Chain A
Amino acid sequence: MDEKIRAVHYLNQFFAQIGGEDKGGVAPGVKEGPVGPGRALQQAFGGDGEVVATVFCGDNYFAEHQEKAVEELLEHMARFKPHLLIAGPAFESGRYGVACGAISRAAQERLRIHAVAGMDKDNAGSALYRKSVYIMDSSKSVLHMLPILSRMAALGLKLVRGAPVGKPEAEGYIPRGIKRNEFAAKPPAERAVDMLLAKIQGAPFKSEIPAPQFQHIKPAGAIRALSSAVIALVTDGGLVPEGNPERMEPGRPTRFAVIPIEGVDRLDAKEFDVVHSGYDTALANQDPHRLVPLDVMRQLERDGVIGKVHEFIHTTGGAHAAVENATHIGAGIAGRLKSAGVDGVILTST
């Protein structure tokens, strides 16, 4: 592409110089040319690109009317026939970060243009959009505005020109979870030995596969009155109604199933199946209570030890669960239990 690249810049009300938190409810709008940090963006483009317009929206307005805000912003942008959207950087501002991610993805999908957003890697918008949008890691500090904008501009130019994009650590964007084949100078055995030698010598080395990161979880408080508490049964051992009517996956699960147990006193082996590709299910199939202790829970309910057994068993198969899917399944189950007023959970795991 020989012509100058036409870029639109997205900013929130603050950076678009409309006003502070008191103007958070401002509806989407547009100004021609660069505004505020857009001037630095223009400088970063040099002669290769032009910031033709700045679109903006109040952070609260965007958060409260996301669909409408996206529609309006896209309309404003389309009039300028841009090749590229640069959104932010939003640093650690959560509402602004989510808006940058959302408008970038919408611009890619609906206007078929390239987009680069910017925000801190811990910004909520990063978790939501890093897989679909190139997000430059801006760090939390606004002091980094200039270098971040120049990296965003450089990546944007590459994308529009179809030039190869380097790895996240080379370009500065947040990893998108994409794996690409590449040739290594040495075979794996040599690389492993090199890594081991470096480790022994106390020299720096870098694992080729990052270990999965587990989120830190705040423990729930203690149950004060067990005799009036609602306790739910959850299992990752693959309990399903006989014949598995919901076709729950026996391995690599992507979802959970729900088994109603109101008025059910025990789990009859004839009415239930256990599907799970990760362990021998024979014993649990013989007596499902070996997996989900409903019989004993009913006893404890009658004896007044607990208040009530929650009316649904939530179940999934835990074999080879990807952390991401498992997190999604867990959050789904937890959300349902929480809104049903459940106080505690016994989760049996195989």
Chain B
Amino acid sequence: MIPVAKEVGSLRAIASGGIVSPTGNPELSPDKEKEFRRDLILRALQSLQEEVCE
């Protein structure tokens, strides 16, 4: 969905775990899945701390 996000003007976008589970990955064990999610969110928070230009 990154191209769609860009098309509509989102400037900070992180590729997610997929359309049906953006912050999850059902193929992982629950613990690993949570780690995956934490990693994704940390990257999103990182992007919130960066200046972006148009």
Q: Which of B22, B33, B44, B53 has the most chain A CB within a 10 Å cutoff?
A: B22
- Residues 20 to 43 of chain B near chain A (Cβ within 8 Å): 20-24, 26, 33-34, 37-38, 40-42
Report A345 CB to chain B, min CB distance, Å: 8
Measured in the bound complex, the distance between the Cα atoms of B22 and A62 in whole Å is 48
**B21 and A215 contact, CB distance less than 8 A:** no
- Residues 277 to 320 of chain A near chain B (Cβ within 8 Å): 279-284, 286-287, 289-293, 295-297, 299-300, 305-306
Nearest B residue (CB) for A306: B45
Main SS of chain B's interface residues?
A: loop
**A296 and B24 contact, CB distance less than 8 A:** no
Measured in the bound complex, the distance between the Cα atoms of B50 and A291 in whole Å is 24
**A305 and B45 contact, CB distance less than 8 A:** yes
Q: List 13 A-B contacts (CB under 8 A).
A: A214-B8, A216-B54, A217-B11, A219-B12, A219-B53, A290-B24, A290-B33, A291-B21, A293-B41, A295-B34, A296-B34, A346-B45, A349-B5
**A348 and B48 contact, CB distance less than 8 A:** no
Does A65 lie at the interface of the complex (its beta carbon under 8 Å from any beta carbon of B)?
no
Does A231 lie at the interface of the complex (its beta carbon under 8 Å from any beta carbon of B)?
yes
Residue total for A at the interface (Cβ-Cβ under 8 A) = 39
Report A17 CB to chain B, min CB distance, Å: 43
**B24 and A283 contact, CB distance less than 8 A:** yes
> Could you say which of A101-109, A130-138, A220-228, A241-249 contacts chain B?
A220-228
Q: Chain A, 228-270, contact with B by CB distance < 8 Å: what is the 0/1 string? A: 0101000001000000000000000000000000000000000
**A293 and B45 contact, CB distance less than 8 A:** no
Note all chain B residues with C-beta closer than 8 A to A214: 7-9
Q: Which of A226, A299, A300, A349 has the most chain B CB within a 10 Å cutoff?
A: A349
**B20 and A289 contact, CB distance less than 8 A:** no
Q: Which of B8, B21, B45, B51 contacts A221 (CB 8 A)?
A: B51
Measured in the bound complex, the distance between the Cα atoms of B19 and A231 in whole Å is 23
**A349 and B45 contact, CB distance less than 8 A:** no
Q: Which of B1, B23, B48 contacts A293 (CB 8 A)?
A: B23
Measured in the bound complex, the distance between the Cα atoms of B24 and A289 in whole Å is 7
Note all chain A residues with C-beta closer than 8 A to B53: 219
Does A43 lie at the interface of the complex (its beta carbon under 8 Å from any beta carbon of B)?
no
**A346 and B41 contact, CB distance less than 8 A:** yes
Measured in the bound complex, the distance between the Cα atoms of B44 and A161 in whole Å is 60
Measured in the bound complex, the distance between the Cα atoms of B40 and A297 in whole Å is 11
Does A218 lie at the interface of the complex (its beta carbon under 8 Å from any beta carbon of B)?
yes
Nearest B residue (CB) for A294: B23
Note all chain A residues with C-beta closer than 8 A to B24: 283-284, 287, 289-291
Measured in the bound complex, the distance between the Cα atoms of B33 and A218 in whole Å is 34
Measured in the bound complex, the distance between the Cα atoms of B50 and A219 in whole Å is 11
Q: Which of B7, B41, B42, B51 contacts A222 (CB 8 A)?
A: B51
Note all chain A residues with C-beta closer than 8 A to B9: 214-217
Does A93 lie at the interface of the complex (its beta carbon under 8 Å from any beta carbon of B)?
no
